[in-house]
Structure 1
Amino acid sequence: MSAKLSAAAAALQALSNPTRLAILAAIADRNQRQVPVVLGELGFDLRVVAKEVGRLTEAGLLAKVRGQLIADLAPLGELAEAVVEATALARAIPPSSPLRRYLVHGRIEALPKRPADLDAFAAVLCTLLPNGRKLTEAEVNDCLAQAGDDVAGLRRLLVDLHFVRRNGSAEYEVIEHPIEV
């Protein structure tokens, strides 16, 4: 997984430069129109183009095929998937689990409606919280922020379904539950 994340970081770093991004876009456009790529015709200083093409090639976004530069944008989707799989919920929910349908980019956008799915999701959310100690509301919020934006809603869900116990002083404690994802 860390090799994929390193590749994702390299590709994102390569794309963070506006000139590099523009060069990649120009090459991809020419590839799509099936027009040969001539570096001097990309609209940039030739020395800059040569240097940036090298960086894009190192990042795996350009390749030379039969003497022609080809933009390979497919790795971007694979890299995005690697980043998603590194999120806390994606690590906690197996790829084959039906709960995956509630994730968008590795985070929950809306809670399941079916009670069984809601219980299973709450059990997964509990895995984001440390066991065996009392937590403040801020600590619970920090942990649940890995899962989605509505931390208050997620926190209420865990309390309402009795996965987490809350006392009057806003201390929280995970109640042990078997996890079936």
Structure 2
Amino acid sequence: MSAKLTAAAAALQALSSPTRLAILAAVADLNRQRKPVVLGELGFDMRTLTKEMGRLTEAGLLTRSRGQLIADLTPLSALAEAVVEATALARAIPPASPLRRFLVHGRIETLPKKPADLEALAAALCTLLPNDRTLTEAEVNDCLAQAGDDVAGLRRLLVDLHFVRRNGSAEYRVIEAPIDVTP
């Protein structure tokens, strides 16, 4: 995972420059049109072009094949996957778990309808909360915000399924829950 995140960081760094982004987009557009890439026609001075193309090549976003410059956007897919796998909820739910179908970009898009899936997802959510102390509602919300946009709904789910005990309206505590998140 660390190597993937390092490569992802390098690709993001390469894309952080508007000039490099414009160069990559121009090359990708010419590739898509099946036109040859003529460096002098990209609209950049050769010194800037050479320097920025070197950075894009180091990041694996530009390659040469048969004398042609090729925009290789496949590292961006690996980048997206690495970022998703680094999310807290994706780390809590194994890649082969059927619960993954409820996640989009490592976050909960929709809640399951089946009770077994809902309970398994709640167990995974519990792993985001510290279980060694009482939490405020704001702390619970901060933890659950990693998993989805409807933090109030997720918080209610944990309380309703008895994974979290609420005392009054301000104190929450995780109830000892099973770690297995498979439905």
Q: TM-score, normalised by structure 2?
A: 0.94
Q: Which residue of 1 aligns with 2:30?
A: 30
Counterpart CA distance in 2 for 1:4 and 1:149 is 26
1:91-130 equivalent positions in 2, closer than 5 A? 91-130=91-130
- Aligned residue type for 1:119: E
Partner of 2:132 in structure 1?
132
Shift of 1:170: 1.4
Paired residue for 1:10?
10
**Once the 2 structures are TM-superposed, how far is the Cα of residue 125 of structure 1 from its aligned partner?**
0.3
- Extract structure 1 runs of 4+ deviating beyond 6 A: none
Partner of 1:180: helix, strand, or coil?
Answer: coil
SS in 2 for 1:147: coil
1:174 counterpart = 2:174: yes
Structure 1 residue 148 corresponds to structure 2 residue 113: no
Q: State the alpha-carbon separation in 2 of the partners of residues 176 and 78 from structure 1.
A: 36
For structure 2, the residue ranges without an aligned partner over 5 or more in a row are none
Instruction: Give 2:20's aligned residue.
Output: 20
1:169 offset after TM fit, Å?
A: 5.0
Partner residue, 1:73: 73
CA apart distance, 1:132: 2.3
- 1:120 is paired with a residue whose SS is helix
Number of matched pairs: 181
Q: Deviations over 1:119-164 (max 9, x none)?
A: 1110110011111211111111111111011111100100011000
Who is 1:89 aligned against? 89
What is the alpha-carbon distance in structure 1 between the residues aligned to residue 101 and residue 22 of structure 2? 35
- RMSD, aligned α-carbons: 1.2
Point out the more displaced range, 80-89 or 170-179. 170-179
Structure 1: which 5+ runs fail to align?
Answer: none
